[in-house]
Structure 1
Amino acid sequence: MVSEKWRILEHIYSYLISFTKTNCHFPLILSQFILYMGPLFLYILTSALCCVVVLGSSSSEFIYPNFTATNLQFVDNSGAFLTSRNQTFKAAIINPGTQQTNFYLCVIHAISNTIIWSANRDAPISNSGRMSLTATGIYITDDKGDSKWSTPVLQSSVSSLFLSELGNLILLDQFNQSLWESFQNPTDTIVIGQNLPVGKLLYSAISSTDFSTGNYSFEVISDDAILQWNDLTYWKLSMEPVAITNSNSPAEFMAINRTGLYLFGQNGSVVVIQVGLSTSNFRIAKLDHLGQFTVSSFSGSDWTKDFVGPAEQCQVPYVCGRIGLCTPGSGSSTPVCSCPSNFQLDQQSNCVPGDSSYSLPVACTTTNNSSQLNSSMLLYMMLNYGSDYFYNDFSSPAKYGVNLSACEDLCSMDCSCLGIFYANSTGSCYVLQDELGSIMSTTTNENDQLGYIKALLSSSPKSVNDSSNNQTQRFPIVALVFLPFTGFVLVVALGFLCWRRTKVSKIGEGKLGHPNSSSSGDLEAFSIPGLPVRFDYEELEVATDNFKNLIGAGGFGAVYKGILHDKTLVAVKKITNLGLQGKKDFCTEIAIIGNIHHVNLVKLKGFCAQGRQRLLVYEYMNRGSLDQSLFGNGPVLEWQERVDIALGTARGLAYLHSGCVQKIIHCDVKPENILLHDHFQAKISDFGLSKLLSPEQSSLFTTMRGTRGYLAPEWLTSSAISEKTDVYSYGMVLLEIVSGRKNCMTRSLSQSFGDDNSNGAHSSSSSGSGLVYFPLLALEMHEQKRYLELADPRLEGRVTSEEVEKLVRVALCCVHEEPMLRPNMVSVVGMLEGRITLGHPRMESLNFLRFYGRRFAEASTIEEVNGESNVILFPQANASLASTASGSPTSFSYISSQQISGPR
């Protein structure tokens, strides 16, 4: 339990902090009180405050009611929201393995990343599911808010949630008394300091990535510890040679410690059974998903298995599946699985009778199944000599001293019986009931014990022929009665369908483009479970005042401000370039986007798919897009605001790349697609909408997708497009955040910020000062360590060189020419937060910026002479960079800014 001293200090500290916030005269009152009480009280109070300040600053083993956590919220901390005092254990919402669908609230041994407990093992949530701590307990809900798991009803209100240094997750009341503990609700593992009492079971998981309750269980009984499969025992601790029985006293609980595994009785004062092990400071006992009970110790960086039961894997009931024959491997190698001689593998890799006319029965729940009483339909298929079954050593024969025929009859009369084992020497008949596990291959008693599996004749050839003959004889009579009527119905139905198709076609031609026009493919009744709202077109017409308040436009169409009937502000995107995209494809794509939730992604509130109209309804972002705040004439963004925007954008992209069930590559990261909410919270928009492009747009982006100035070099080569393409675009945006100017429209360093041209760049007061490619300038200033010269001049010294250096170095790492050298977005988040060491830009992978900058200057000069508005992008291929250094500007692509643009 928690030390009383630390608990008292924790409450003193919390009380002093809360009282100070609510009483501005507290320091004066405290000082006067100390003056009257004298030096003794001052000494005591100073010591206590020092302790609680240290506690409050270094400890994170407590959280308090009204706390919520999701995996997305703590994705950069591997889902952890709570750690024990010395950080030995952590509590986190994680997904085991590489799967991205099942997330669990877990307690984890931090240094080995081993899960020792999970809460919602049978009710996993998505990465946006939520853990909430309230005054009534812990609650786990899915992304829809539906309850998935919770602690039971508690005796009093919760004051805090505490993670002990032993790995015990404890709910405490206001008196620091335990209300509920994870140690008292084990899953498949116990640790040092935890007891497993009689009556509590450990249940295996389905697999290493699916924590759902499996069919194996471990239980402490009054005189032993046993393993069971579907309530059938297959192992006992007392049978192990290393297990020493010390007492006949009833066992009360099992525990492990530094020296071994023990069953204790008489309140822990008597050792009933012990297994001595080598000394270890940390060890766990676990029932793994393969059905073996293991005790393992951790030392340094490796796990060592100290004890395994059963040691022979073929003794595990389902190691080779149903009726799979398990042959032990040589030494400690994995056993070999095959099918018995009269069986073969089916398409699902299960062992089935080799004769396809027979099938394996399913156990019933009664004993009067007449279909199995007919002996002519039953067959007992013999297993290999030397076969055995796990349960034979833990059960008594159903009959003694009978012959094989009597043993078969016993099974034939019982529909729950699926097979038998018969011992010739004793006439013992063992019955296999309810479930069939794997068969063990053994060298003991090879000719004495024989196994048989009951099979059913699938169908009788005679009955099949008789049935066919009867149907043939009856067919003419049936046909004479029903055929004319059936023909009449078919003619009427075909006529109605033709009339309907003609009418719908005429309506479609007369009302082409009308929002309410119908077609055979209309999806008016189509619904998507989990999508927030499906709006009617008329409802959105009213909300947007007939689409009058235009707030933006882009590659997909126009965006309008709207007010729903509940006074909610929304942004309505009216898609005008959908082409002939199928409505079901549209709805499927929107369903994917509608179920993606992250604080740094614009939330899709709903959609409209009515007639030919396609509209998307988003949450309204009251500060507009980043380009308006960054390049506009409004108040200058302060440095911390820029850092927050950069970090929020990075977190959103990290979620798209690694937090979703399906990886999403945005392909058009730019300031116009980064929207700002209150307090300049950044949210990425227009992600995952590539399938909404019309065929004309899709063909444009076959070799290039994105916006000028942000296109990664691999777009122009045959290189694979990956999430590192977004990393490059993010790096370019980050440079613009630092400088407050467009990368491809920057003039000299002395440029004026008083004017703003049509392209969103700040124009120079001197038209003859020449254009500068800012990424190249950033590279050169990085080489010279002159970072302050890259910052937005409008900040007027309100930023330090170190702060600028941090963002510039991250940006340059992101724009490496070689995608493999770019960090992933999770690492970018870590660098911006300071948890990961800043990367070092690789000059050899940044030299391409010098060629871009040189060609940019040449092309800009040509454009100024010709008066053209086109802007240089990139060389046609990276492989030709060296050759283009001395080539002509015609070796570059000139494409209008309106031609290359993804969704805005």
Structure 2
Amino acid sequence: MARSSSISFIKMNSSNEDPLHHFNQMVKFLYPNFSATYFHFVDSDGVFLSSSAFSVAFHNPDGQDSPHYIVVLHALSGATVWTANAASPVPPSATLSLTASGLALSLANGSLAWSTPGLSAPVFALHLLPSGELRLLDDANASLWSSFNHPTDTLLPNQLLPVSSSLTSAVSGNDPSPGDYRLLVTPGDAVLQWNPTSRLYWSLSSDARSAKDSNLQVGYFSVNATGLYLLASDRETAVFRMIFPPSASSFSDEFYMAKLDPSGRFRIISSPLNESLSAAIFNTDFVAPMNDCDLPNICGPLGLCAPGTNSSTCSCPASFGALPSGGCSPVDGSVTANSSCPGEGVAGSTARFMILGNQIGYYGTKFSAPNTFGTNISTCQDLCSANCSCLGFFYRASSKSCYFLEYRIGSLISVGTVNGGATAVGYVKTLSQASPPSGSSSSVRFFIVLLPSTATTLLVISIAIICFERWRRNKRGSNDVTRSKSVSSGLKWPTPAELSEDEEVEKEEEIAIPGLPTRYTYDELEDATNNFQTPIGSGGFGCVYKGQLLDKSLVAVKRINAASTQQGRREFCTEIAVIGNIHHVNLVRLRGFCAQGRKRLLVYEYMNRSSLDRVLFSRNPDLVVLEWKQRLDVAVGAARGLAYLHSGCEHRIIHCDVKPENILLHDNNQVKIADFGLAKLMSPEQSGLFTTMRGTRGYLAPEWLTNAAISDKTDVYSFGMVLLEIVRGRKNRAEESGKELTDSPSPYFPMLALEMHERGTYEELADPRLEGKVNWAELERVVKVALCCLHEEPTVRTRVPRSKPAARGIGDELHECWVVGVAAAALLHIVAGGIGAEIAQA
């Protein structure tokens, strides 16, 4: 296969090659022996293959840890246009492998989650075309497999959908699993169907906007900027066509695609190809069906849809009431039948039919033939009663025809009258409880006599349980000064204050915030930490204790100070939901929280190597000194974590307290930032305390002292201070590290670093404990980055100062990635092997 010099590609023939080195290049080809997980490409949002307009990525639609999918994305808009494993989501640890046999996605235990089918020849390459098509190629450049031949819910402009093929809707925007609707291409039409009955609710041939051009059989369905077409087998002759009106957009170049959305609507949507826009905006150029009430389940089962000028409304037919889950059910206590035979699973139930009312229609009668002709309503009822799958029927008197509602009932339509005559009348099969046996009256009288005594007994038992529970809590907390009470005084009723706190707890349990992590009670965390016996750290927000949950996993439990908890419970839970849903390999994961009364606790994953300050600043001769490579890894990991907080996650977060105490270490050189987002938990009245928190004064940017606006450049300044401490192995301010072994006061290290930079003698800045085992080019680069970060003016923290011109090499181009100012960019640049290039504005 010939390879053009203009095409970048990854060829991984050795397991020693790290895919991370290539994550940001425009990679159009992958070759066999490629194997990777999401974690290899976490810094590129999972992207591992790119073309001019599309990319292939490990994708997580809802931002949680799992599930993940292999998808093709439109690069500018971020729209998912194809999903490989839509029905088989995988965790981020799943491995994608490309071998000579094809493409496969497997779980950690080796089981197969998804793969391409058997191929006619060995695979030579995986190619992402500019059209968004993903192909497996043989050594003659012929296609062995194509994603276009296995569409999901989207059709692209250059993609043909053959006859007998279909698009299938997703369950929801966050769940690409196959949903209830499909667009099917038949030899004579293109139709929309609702599963499981495959009942039609729209067809292209019956749409008033379409035109028929030929009597040939349909071979393909296609869309482009001008309209949608049913083509003959020659791929040129139009059988049916639907031309769109001219676009009102001011952009001449737009991206088009067709999508079957989770509600069952088939849309042609477009978006301007304009990189200057802050977010992709899709315009709907075509939608089918046009009327919302023609959708099978727009108002839920038995919900009544009324068309309106701008939008439809949902209600319930007479004698029916709305269900909390959507749809309607009989108000007389009976239940609608399911697809099993009447009476199954409902003891003593009998089937009957409830009329739906006049001027009510059903989508299924538009495109389907009646089940019977020439019958009356009684015959329809008998036939439906004998059919386990029949859930109701519509009877049209004018033709004496009966239309069964089978397997599943959708929404109803308010239709009025048609041509002055009455529409079909609907009936739904319901199950009602049989009358109680004749001897039940004596049982009722017995129950009435027994009720008072039973209620009294239950009341006494309830009081006893409450008192015992209060005594048990007091006994368990007797060793805690803040909760100690004398048990010798015996059981007692709770005080009004205690009752008030319990009421607060009950109210908290009613708070429902989407995306909240696991919620623990105070007692659970007290047990997990053995009554908070093992402190492992402290900071401005509170103390941290080591704990162990019931699943034996170790956690770090932070008990937040009262000064930082002056906001309402709902606001607190909302912020926790934001923090809990931010996941990155270089950010400490929030596993859960407690918001009970005035108690606020956060549960984090446990990092067994403690914080950077303990490892970096300790002069204990028994501890191993951090090597230069390890220090560089720490700096890069911290930079990546901050970069994600600033511009990689949905909710932009400024850390406001970047320091070594908040950079945690774990086995296998894992580096994670802690306490991100906690500044958002403080009330405005408490924000002034932030500048006086312990361990923060040496990292404060000048903005804090001048009341200037706080931005991500504030974190960049603090990050620069941390970089210098990583280089020197000591606090920048000597007075802040009283345990250091110094014979005389050390100068302020940032000033010394600036002086050495001007002289070009960076070697004198390295930690003496490294004994010269330093990559001097990397050290020079890190110092320059740190000095850049420490500029007094925030907007100038974007350029690295130069002491002398540097030779440029093949690795000198700055990788395209979102970074913390230029700090992360330069450090990532070092890791990638480019040394000495001038870093332009990020």
TM-score, structure 1 length as denominator? 0.59
Whether contact under 8 Å (2:53, 2:76) holds in the other structure is: yes
2:616 to 596, 610, 627: 627
Mapped partners of 1:826, 1:7: distance in 2: 29
The equivalences for 1:527-606 within 5 A come to 555-556=535-536, 584=550, 587=553, 589=555
> Does 1:276 find its partner at 2:243?
yes
Q: Give the 3-state SS of the residue equivalent to 2:382 in structure 1.
A: helix
Mapped partners of 1:144, 1:660: distance in 2: 30
Shift in alpha-carbon separation, 1:185–1:685, aligned structure 2, 3 A: same
Shift of 1:339: 1.8
Shift in alpha-carbon separation, 1:261–1:382, aligned structure 2, 3 A: closer
Mapped partners of 1:630, 1:828: distance in 2: 31
Mapped partners of 1:403, 1:181: distance in 2: 54
Mapped partners of 2:5, 2:66: distance in 1: 42
Shift in alpha-carbon separation, 1:79–1:374, aligned structure 2, 3 A: closer
For 1:683, the aligned partner's letter is: V
- What's the counterpart of residue 34 of structure 2? 67
- What's the counterpart of residue 798 of structure 2? none
Shift of 1:317: 0.6
CA RMSD of aligned residues (A): 6.2
Mapped partners of 1:143, 1:830: distance in 2: 37
- What's the counterpart of residue 736 of structure 1? 725
Shift in alpha-carbon separation, 1:403–1:79, aligned structure 2, 3 A: same
Can you list the C-alpha shifts for 1:315-353, whole angstroms capped at 9, x where unaligned?
1111111111112231xx332122223222133243122
Q: Give the 3-state SS of the residue equivalent to 2:181 in structure 1.
A: strand
For 2:324, the aligned partner's letter is: Q
2:147 to 182, 192, 196: 182
Could you list the runs of 5+ residues in structure 1 that have no partner in the other structure? 22-56, 477-500, 506-553, 558-575, 605-615, 691-700, 748-756, 817-824, 842-904
Whether contact under 8 Å (2:549, 2:555) holds in the other structure is: no
Shift of 1:758: 6.8
> Does 1:121 find its partner at 2:86?
yes
Shift in alpha-carbon separation, 1:582–1:105, aligned structure 2, 3 A: closer
Mapped partners of 1:75, 1:706: distance in 2: 33
1:328 to 300, 307, 324: 307
- What's the counterpart of residue 339 of structure 2? 364
Whether contact under 8 Å (1:192, 1:257) holds in the other structure is: yes
- What's the counterpart of residue 382 of structure 2? 409
Can you list the C-alpha shifts for 1:612-652, whole angstroms capped at 9, x where unaligned?
xxxx997889x9975169999999976x8755431122234
Mapped partners of 2:631, 2:163: distance in 1: 59
> Does 1:424 find its partner at 2:397?
yes
Mapped partners of 2:374, 2:90: distance in 1: 56
Mapped partners of 2:199, 2:92: distance in 1: 37
2:356 to 382, 394, 405: 382
Mapped partners of 1:318, 1:712: distance in 2: 57
- What's the counterpart of residue 109 of structure 1? 74
Shift in alpha-carbon separation, 1:154–1:369, aligned structure 2, 3 A: same
- What's the counterpart of residue 884 of structure 1? none
1:683 to 671, 683, 691: 671
Shift of 1:189: 0.8
Whether contact under 8 Å (2:586, 2:673) holds in the other structure is: no
- What's the counterpart of residue 200 of structure 1? 165
- What's the counterpart of residue 794 of structure 1? 765
Shift in alpha-carbon separation, 1:706–1:730, aligned structure 2, 3 A: farther
Shift in alpha-carbon separation, 1:152–1:725, aligned structure 2, 3 A: farther
- What's the counterpart of residue 44 of structure 2? 77
- What's the counterpart of residue 205 of structure 2? 238
For 2:385, the aligned partner's letter is: S
Whether contact under 8 Å (2:698, 2:732) holds in the other structure is: no
Q: Give the 3-state SS of the residue equivalent to 2:175 in structure 1.
A: coil
- What's the counterpart of residue 298 of structure 2? 319
Q: Give the 3-state SS of the residue equivalent to 1:337 in structure 2.
A: strand
Q: Give the 3-state SS of the residue equivalent to 1:463 in structure 2.
A: coil
> Does 1:650 find its partner at 2:621?
no
Whether contact under 8 Å (2:659, 2:699) holds in the other structure is: no
For 1:456, the aligned partner's letter is: T
Shift of 1:401: 3.4
Mapped partners of 1:370, 1:628: distance in 2: 70
Shift of 1:140: 2.7
Whether contact under 8 Å (1:746, 1:773) holds in the other structure is: no
Can you list the C-alpha shifts for 1:377-406, whole angstroms capped at 9, x where unaligned?
524132352x21111011112233333343
Shift in alpha-carbon separation, 1:260–1:134, aligned structure 2, 3 A: same
- What's the counterpart of residue 694 of structure 1? none
Whether contact under 8 Å (1:625, 1:676) holds in the other structure is: no
- What's the counterpart of residue 348 of structure 1? 325
Can you list the C-alpha shifts for 1:743-796, whole angstroms capped at 9, x where unaligned?
23179xxxxxxxxx87347664xx4xx764859x99xx69xx977799673359
For 1:219, the aligned partner's letter is: L
Mapped partners of 1:683, 1:731: distance in 2: 17
TM-score, structure 2 length as denominator? 0.63
Could you list the runs of 5+ residues in structure 2 that have no partner in the other structure? 18-23, 247-252, 275-280, 450-471, 477-533, 538-542, 558-575, 591-604, 679-688, 767-771, 796-816, 830-837
Shift of 1:827: 3.8
Shift of 1:839: 11
Mapped partners of 1:298, 1:773: distance in 2: 52
2:820 to 828, 840, 844: 828
Mapped partners of 2:632, 2:646: distance in 1: 21
Mapped partners of 1:617, 1:256: distance in 2: 52
Can you list the C-alpha shifts for 1:838-869, whole angstroms capped at 9, x where unaligned?
9999xxxxxxxxxxxxxxxxxxxxxxxxxxxx
The equivalences for 1:34-49 within 5 A come to none
Shift of 1:731: 5.1
Shift of 1:169: 0.8
Aligned length: 676
Give the % identical residues: 35
- What's the counterpart of residue 560 of structure 1? none
Shift in alpha-carbon separation, 1:469–1:659, aligned structure 2, 3 A: farther
Mapped partners of 1:304, 1:278: distance in 2: 13
> Does 1:162 find its partner at 2:127?
yes
Q: Give the 3-state SS of the residue equivalent to 1:584 in structure 2.
A: coil
- What's the counterpart of residue 745 of structure 1? 734
Shift of 1:732: 3.9
Whether contact under 8 Å (2:213, 2:238) holds in the other structure is: yes
Shift of 1:104: 2.0
Q: Give the 3-state SS of the residue equivalent to 2:634 in structure 1.
A: helix
Shift in alpha-carbon separation, 1:11–1:555, aligned structure 2, 3 A: closer
Mapped partners of 2:263, 2:172: distance in 1: 8
2:428 to 454, 468, 473: 454
> Does 1:293 find its partner at 2:285?
no
Whether contact under 8 Å (2:361, 2:426) holds in the other structure is: no
Shift of 1:286: 1.5
- What's the counterpart of residue 394 of structure 1? 367
- What's the counterpart of residue 308 of structure 1? 287
For 2:820, the aligned partner's letter is: V
Single out whichever of 584-593 and 156-165 deviates more from structure 2: 584-593
- What's the counterpart of residue 216 of structure 2? 249
- What's the counterpart of residue 613 of structure 1? none
Shift in alpha-carbon separation, 1:805–1:369, aligned structure 2, 3 A: closer
Q: Give the 3-state SS of the residue equivalent to 2:117 in structure 1.
A: coil
> Does 1:151 find its partner at 2:116?
yes
Mapped partners of 1:619, 1:370: distance in 2: 54
